[in-house]
Amino acid sequence: MQNLVVVESPTKARTLQRFLGSEFQIEASMGHVRDLPKSEFGVDVEHDFKPEYVIPKDKRKNVNILKKLASSAKTLYLATDPDREGEAIAWHISELLRNSEKPSSKLQVPNEIHRVVFHEITEGAIKEAFKHPHEIDLKLVDAQQARRILDRLVGYKLSPLLWQKVKKGLSAGRVQSVTLRLIVEREREIGKFKPVEYWIIEAELSKHLRGETKDAFIATLIEKDGKKVEIKNKQEADGHVKNLEKARYFVSKITQKELRRYPYPPFITSTLQQVASNRLGYSAKKTMMLAQALYEQGFISYMRTDSVNLSPSAIASARSYIEQYIGKAYLPKVARVYKSRSKNAQEAHEAIRPTDVEVKGEGLRGKGLNRDHQRLYDLIWKRFVACQMSEALLDQTTVDVTAAAYLLRATGSVIRFEGWLKLYGKEADENSSREAGEDDKKQALPDLSENDPLNLLQLIPNQHFTEPPPRYNEASLIKKLEELGIGRPSTYAPIISTILDRFYVERQERKFIPTSLGFAVTDFLIEFFPNIVDYSFTAKMEDDLDEIARGEIKWQPIIRQFYSPFAERVEKAAIHAEKIKMEVELAGKKCPECGNELVIRIGKFGKFLACSTFPKCRHTEAIEEKIDAKCPLDGGQIVVRHTRRGKTFYGCKNWPVCKFASWTKPKSEKMAVDKD
């Protein structure tokens, strides 16, 4: 009799098989084997919110296979992922095998059912995990069940109300609605923002050496008569320039200090998503898909984590690599140990890191992984090794320049020792400067001494206007959610995907812009369900779920406390809320059938044009989204199209005369020229 091991995916199963040998048969559950029903409420509110789980139709065949294999297995090992979701999948499998749906079933369940947990798929980690199996952690299962039930209560009760009061086909979610509110409020901040004019005056100066200008540098005006200079318009700027043109310049003070820039901690889920977005342009969804494949093939540790902790062996491997391949000067005397700022971080977990520091990105070739996998792996590898390297040393010099009643200041810095920046990149140094709020122009200052006279080469007055807060992109949105304590690492990618799929927001130049639908849904929820979209309330609910996971509280009282007032609000809103009138966006075109205005509407598959007199006139037409590429068949414009199920593809504008279509985005003309 073989031992049966159940994991989630076939890829993970194949990787484990390499380490466990013929004594073990490894099967994939293909994710969850039970869930709440799609077409029914599935929560018994009258009996302490008991969930009513069913086996989805597409999982029944796989479940029957698992049951059959388990009936003849010597021992069953549940090796699902090391988080709440994985624990819940393991519990559901165990429950299905122990409690057959058919009372007459003669299913034989293995006497021993074990839970094994590992955070990396390497031979050592796998064998160690199988030496120390344990029971399913029901506290983690309870936390996952509580989240699932909460989301079902909110979604099942609120979504029909949105259909009735806003528009059919909408959905609401406990975390997605708060995320949408962030984007909507930021857009309204931008809309209300009024720019304020201000001026900055810079002086290009040089050492007083017979008019030579090779040692030129820039100093910025900051004070007059000991008070900060604030220049509001051109007239004021011209007055200062006139005075400065007559002044004599000399160095009044030089300040030098050493700056130490320390490496960032290793990646957790949220920081990986943020940096992959900023550096590689990957969406959170894409980043997690790539990371999942890297984990399942054994190249990185588990990618859903909020802990920056590293195992002693991992730290030792990084330090050994640094000493051998980068240089002893880049190795600090003492290993760096990082602590998570989040009170809910699970320190037993590790940060995201390579499982073998000797394997670089090029080592992934021929493993069924593409260039995107390689680029993400390189990012993880560099962050991991860099986190154990010496700090960078910079010499910063600040030069105060006096000109009559004015004080100007120039700041420059040079890297004396690269440290971790040698591996991780100079852009990391620039990012840390901005985060620290330093006004460092990175200019190289000449060798100066106090009281040195200076030449004025030119004065440069520049007009500026204050700018509104920037729209959120994926990185900044995830960072904000993390700061507020909303959602958890595994939820960010699906949250963003949901609000995009529902057309609550659009993405333009990688920034999120709410649609009229997003504004309407947010306003409705704020008015009638203020706690659902309240940042503090949502964060408190996440804390409650964490307490459930730690076994500090039971999940039923938390759900009960939430549900009673929530259900009352739903009833009141159903009676008192009026139907929301959506703002109509004019398309700037006339209807070809009746001559009235065409308007932009949002349907199941996104935006389309419709006659403003609908349903009197039923004319509709697609909105063509063009991309910078030409059809390879007839040279026509390539446009974005959608299948009946909403899947995106790319086709020639001259369809149906030209039949060109592609699932992948054609390369732009510029890219093609560059490549040639």
Distances in Å between the alpha carbon of 430 and those of 86, 267, 381, 440? Answer: 39, 19, 20, 9
Cis preceding-peptide flag for 557 (omega within 30 of 0): no
Query: What is the spatial distance between Cα 109 and Cα 440, in angstroms, rounded to a whole number?
Result: 68
Instruction: Identify the band that residue 217 occupies on the pLDDT scale cut at 50, 70 and 90.
Output: very high
* 120 close to 62: Cβ distance less than 8 angstroms: no
Domain extents in the chain: 3-136, 144-192+471-486+512-576, 196-262+392-466, 269-387, 585-662
Q: What is the mean pLDDT of residues 33-37?
A: 94
In the predicted model, is pLDDT for residue 565 greater than 80? Answer: yes
pLDDT of residue 357: 96
Strand partners, 411: 398
Burial class (CB in 10 A: 0-12, 13-18, 19+), 545: buried
The CATH T-level fold of domain 269-387 is Topoisomerase I; domain 4 (1.10.290)
CATH superfamily of 196-262+392-466: Topoisomerase I, domain 3 (2.70.20.10)
Q: What is the pLDDT of residue 466?
A: 96
Six token digits for residue 90 = 């393991």
At 426, the pLDDT band (50, 70, 90 cuts) reads: low
- Residue 670: the pLDDT is 43
End-to-end CA distance of the chain: 60
Whether the Cβ atoms of residue 199 and residue 234 lie closer than 8 Å to each other: yes
Where does residue 477 rank: exposed (0-12), middle (13-18), buried (19+ CB within 10 A)? buried
- The CATH superfamily of 144-192+471-486+512-576 is Topoisomerase I, domain 2 (1.10.460.10)
pLDDT at site 190: 97
In this prediction, residue 212 has a pLDDT band, given cuts at 50, 70 and 90, of low
d(CA 575, CA 571): 7
pLDDT class for 161, splitting at 50, 70, 90? very high
Beta carbons within 10 angstroms of residue 59's beta carbon:
18
Mean pLDDT of 358-384: 92
Mean pLDDT on 257-274: 95
Q: How far apart are CA 506 and CA 623, in angstroms?
A: 14
For residues 240 and 628, what is the distance between their CA atoms, to the nearest angstrom? 48
pTM of the predicted model, to two decimals? 0.85
The answer to whether residue 264 is catalytic is no
Please report which confidence band the pLDDT of residue 441 belongs to, taking 50, 70 and 90 as the band edges. Answer: low
Task: Please count the CA atoms within 13 angstroms of the CA of 663 that sit on its side-chain side.
Answer: 2
* CATH no., domain 3-136: 3.40.50.140
Span 475-488, average pLDDT: 92
458-481 residue pLDDT tens = 999 999 999 999 999 999 999 999
Q: Is the pLDDT of residue 439 over 80?
A: no
Report pLDDT for 430: 36
In the prediction, which pLDDT does 605 show? 65
In which band, very low, low, confident or very high, does the pLDDT at 255 lie, cut at 50, 70 and 90? Answer: very high
Mean pLDDT value across residues 156-165 = 92
Could you tell me what percent of the chain has a pLDDT over 70?
A: 90
The span from the CA of 91 to the CA of 112, in Å, is 14
Q: What is the pLDDT of residues 517-542, one digit of tens each?
A: 999 999 999 999 999 999 999 999 99
Q: Are 188 and 411 in contact (CB under 8 A)?
A: no
Respond yes or no on whether the N-terminal peptide bond of residue 446 is cis (omega within 30° of 0): no
Q: Give the pLDDT score at 213.
A: 59
pLDDT of residue 169: 81
Catalytic residue of the set 77, 302, 424, 504: 302
Q: What is the pLDDT of residues 137-149, one digit of tens each?
A: 999 999 999 999 9
Q: Which of 407-411, 497-501, 599-603 has the lowest mean pLDDT?
A: 599-603
In this prediction, residue 45 carries a pLDDT of 95
Which residues are within 8 A (CB) of 231 and not within 5 positions of it... i.e. 6 or more apart?
198, 199, 200, 201, 237, 240
Beta strands in 453-526 (DSSP E): 453-465, 505-508, 511-514
Return all residues near 374 (Cβ < 8 A) that are at least 6 apart: 361, 362, 364, 365
pLDDT score recorded for residue 432: 37
**pLDDT, position 602:** 75
Q: Pick the range with the lowest mean pLDDT from 157-171, 271-285, 291-305.
A: 157-171
